[in-house]
C-alpha cells in the first residue's frame, strides 16, 4: 500500500528514517514518498488500461509543485478547480491538453485564463455558468470544449460534507435537465458541449455507486446521440478510497473491474474517458510528522499534546476522520503490523492526541489506544498525503508546515517551513 515501514524499530519512508527528516527540517512536517505516488498512479493506469483514460490527478488533494511534477512525469494530466490550481498545474509542467477544470463558481478571470491556456475540458455546473463561458469565449473569438457535470442522484455512502452526486447538493445539473441543457446550448459555436462529467463523492468505499452513476451517464449519452449531439468525452470524476486502515479500500483493480466493462462498448465506439483521482494516488503517499510537546493527565484522561493540530491536519476534527497515529520509534513490543482502529497489543494506553491550538476541537485523535509516549517523541500521522497540507491553515498564527519529498535514501524540502515574517508579510 505504501513505502512507510518500520526498519529495526524505526519508521522509514523508503530508505530514509523519519527521525532524520524531522531532525533536519523540524516539525510538524509532511513527508511524501515518491515511489508510493508513482506506484498508485501506475496501478490506476494499469487497472483502467482497457479504456485508455486520461488520468487527471486532482490537484486539490495535494497541490505541492514537486508532487504534481512527479505525476506529470508519470504522464498524468491535472483536474483543477480554481485559477490558482490551474496556475499550479501549469507551473508543474502539465500540458494544457491534460487539464480539466470543474467548480461551481468559476469567476470571469478564471474562465478567461482557462480559455487562454487552451485546456482540454471545462466542466460546467449550471446554465448560468455555461452562458457566461460562452459569452467570454465569444468575446475572445475563442473556442473551448465543455462537459456538462450531471448530478446523477446516486448516494456514494460517504460523509455528508463530501457527498456531491445527490440531488440536494450544489453540484452539477440534475440528470433530468440534461437533455434540455443540450437542446439549449449544444449548438454553441464557441463553447462546444462535447461531454458529460460526474463526480459523486469522496471517498467512495464501494464500487456500485460508480456503476449506477456511469450507467445513468451512458444511457443519457445514448439519448443525446440519438438527438444528434456530439458526446465524445465522459469524465467519471474521482473519489476512489485510500487505506486509512490496512486493506480497507478497494484496490484500483477492483474499481476497474466494476466500471470498465460498463464503459468498454462506448469506448470502442470512440468515447474518451477521463478519471480524476486525488486521494487514491496521494493519501497513502504522505505522513505528517509531529512531536509530542507535553503529556498531561487530567482525571482519568491522558493528553498527548503535539506541535500539530487542526491547523496542520483538519480532517479528524472536520470530518471525524480516522488517521492511524504511531510513534516513529516504538518499543519492540509495539512495532505495528497493521494500521487499525483497534490495535490489540498488551500495554497500550488510551489517550487524546491533541494540537496546541485554543479550541477543544483541535485534535488528531480522541480516545486512541497508543503505546505510552513522552515529551520529545516523534509521532507519524499516516495516510495524510491527501487533503492534509492542502487544507492546512495558519490559525493561531501557526506557520504552515514544511513539506519533504523522499526518493530512496534522499530527501528534498519541497516547501520550506513558513517563518513568522511570512505570516505578516502581506500585512506590511
Q: List residues near ligand LLP by CB under 6 A.
A: 58, 60-61, 79, 102, 162, 199, 202-203, 237-240, 276-280, 315, 319, 386-387, 391
Beta carbon of residue 235, minimum distance to ligand LLP (angstroms, whole number)? 8
Beta carbon of residue 47, minimum distance to ligand LLP (angstroms, whole number)? 14
Q: What is the dihedral of CA 178, 179, 183, 189, to 10 degrees?
A: 50
Contact (Cβ atoms closer than 8 angstroms) between residue 199 and residue 239: yes
Residue 63 vs 237, nearer CB to ligand LLP: 237
Residue 63 vs 239, nearer CB to ligand LLP: 239
Take residue 176 and report the three cell numbers written for it.
433530468
Beta carbon of residue 238, minimum distance to ligand LLP (angstroms, whole number)? 3
Q: Does the annotation count 358 as an active-site position?
A: yes
Beta carbon of residue 413, minimum distance to ligand LLP (angstroms, whole number)? 24
Three-state secondary structure call for residue 275: strand
Residue 100 vs 137, nearer CB to ligand LLP: 100
> Is the CA virtual torsion 224, 229, 232, 235 positive or negative?
negative
* Closest residue by Cα to residue 348 from 360, 358, 340: 340
C-alpha–C-alpha distance, residues 168 and 318, integer Å = 21
Take residue 78 and report the three cell numbers written for it.
491535472
C-alpha–C-alpha distance, residues 365 and 383, integer Å = 14
Residue 103 vs 330, nearer CB to ligand LLP: 103
Task: Kindly tell me the burial class for residue 410, based on how many C-beta atoms sit within 10 Å of its own C-beta (0-12, 13-18, 19 or more).
Answer: exposed
C-alpha–C-alpha distance, residues 205 and 277, integer Å = 14
* Closest residue by Cα to residue 290 from 395, 360, 363, 199: 363
Beta carbon of residue 79, minimum distance to ligand LLP (angstroms, whole number)? 5
Beta carbon of residue 100, minimum distance to ligand LLP (angstroms, whole number)? 8
Take residue 412 and report the three cell numbers written for it.
528534498
User: Residues near 36 by Cβ (< 8 Å), separated by ≥ 6?
Assistant: 2, 3, 4, 284, 285
Three-state secondary structure call for residue 297: strand
Beta carbon of residue 255, minimum distance to ligand LLP (angstroms, whole number)? 11
C-alpha–C-alpha distance, residues 183 and 180, integer Å = 5
Residue 198 vs 306, nearer CB to ligand LLP: 198
Residue 155 vs 331, nearer CB to ligand LLP: 155
Residue 276 vs 352, nearer CB to ligand LLP: 276
Q: Which of 13, 56, 68, 358 is catalytic?
A: 358
Q: What is the dihedral of CA 102, 105, 108, 114, to 10 degrees?
A: -10
C-alpha–C-alpha distance, residues 89 and 72, integer Å = 9
C-alpha–C-alpha distance, residues 178 and 347, integer Å = 59
Active-site positions read 358
Amino acid at each position: 500500500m505504501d513505502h512507510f515501514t518500520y526498519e529495526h524499530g524505526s519508521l522509514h519512508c523508503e530508505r530514509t528514517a523519519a527521525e532524520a527528516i524531522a531532525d533536519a527540517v523540524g516539525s510538524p512536517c509532511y513527508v511524501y514518498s515518491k515511489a508510493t505516488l508513482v506506484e498508485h498512479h501506475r496501478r490506476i493506469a494499469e487497472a483502467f488500461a482497457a479504456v485508455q483514460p486520461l488520468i487527471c490527478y486532482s490537484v486539490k488533494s495535494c497541490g505541492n509543485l514537486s508532487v504534481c511534477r512527479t505525476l506529470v512525469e508519470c504522464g498524468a494530466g491535472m483536474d483543477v478547480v480554481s485559477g490558482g490550481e490551474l496556475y499550479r498545474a501549469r507551473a508543474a509542467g502539465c500540458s494544457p491538453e491534460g487539464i480539466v477544470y470543474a467548480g461551481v463558481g468559476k469567476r470571469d478571470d478564471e474562465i478567461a485564463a482557462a480559455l487562454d491556456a487552451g485546456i482540454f475540458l471545462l466542466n460546467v455546473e449550471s446554465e448560468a455558468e455555461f452562458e457566461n463561458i460562452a459569452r467570454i469565449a465569444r468575446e475572445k473569438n475563442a473556442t473551448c470544449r465543455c462537459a456538462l457535470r450531471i448530478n446523477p442522484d446516486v448516494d456514494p455512502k460517504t460523509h455528508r460534507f463530501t457527498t456531491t452526486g445527490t440531488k440536494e447538493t450544489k453540484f452539477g445539473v440534475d440528470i433530468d435537465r440534461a437533455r434540455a441543457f443540450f437542446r439549449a446550448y449544444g449548438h454553441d459555436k464557441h463553447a462546444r458541449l462535447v461531454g458529460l462529467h460526474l463526480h459523486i463523492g469522496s471517498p467512495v468505499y464501494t464500487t456500485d455507486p460508480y456503476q449506477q452513476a456511469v450507467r445513468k451517464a451512458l444511457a443519457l449519452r445514448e439519448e443525446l446521440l440519438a438527438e444528434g449531439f456530439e458526446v465524445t468525452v465522459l469524465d467519471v470524476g474521482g473519489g476512489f478510497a485510500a487505506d486509512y486502515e490496512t486493506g480497507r479500500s478497494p484496490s484500483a483493480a477492483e474499481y476497474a473491474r466494476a466500471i470498465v466493462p460498463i464503459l468498454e462498448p462506448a469506448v470502442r465506439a470512440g468515447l474518451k474517458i477521463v478519471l480524476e483521482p486525488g486521494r487514491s494516488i496521494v493519501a497513502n503517499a504522505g505522513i505528517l510528522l509531529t512531536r509530542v510537546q507535553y503529556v498531561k493527565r487530567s482525571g482519568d484522561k491522558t493528553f498527548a499534546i503535539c506541535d500539530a493540530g487542526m491547523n496542520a491536519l483538519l480532517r479528524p476534527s472536520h470530518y471525524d476522520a480516522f488517521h492511524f497515529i504511531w510513534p516513529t520509534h516504538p518499543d519492540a513490543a509495539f512495532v505495528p503490523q497493521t494500521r487499525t482502529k483497534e490495535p490489540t497489543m498488551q500495554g497500550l494506553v488510551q489517550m487524546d492526541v491533541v494540537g496546541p491550538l485554543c479550541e477543544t476541537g483541535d485534535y488528531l485523535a480522541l480516545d486512541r489506544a497508543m503505546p505510552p509516549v513522552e515529551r520529545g517523541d516523534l509521532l507519524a500521522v499516516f495516510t495524510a498525503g491527501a487533503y492534509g497540507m492542502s487544507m492546512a491553515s495558519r490559525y493561531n498564527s501557526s506557520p504552515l508546515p514544511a513539506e519533504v519529498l523522499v526518493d530512496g535514501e534522499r530527501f528534498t524540502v519541497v516547501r520550506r517551513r513558513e517563518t513568522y515574517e511570512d505570516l505578516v508579510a502581506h500585512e506590511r
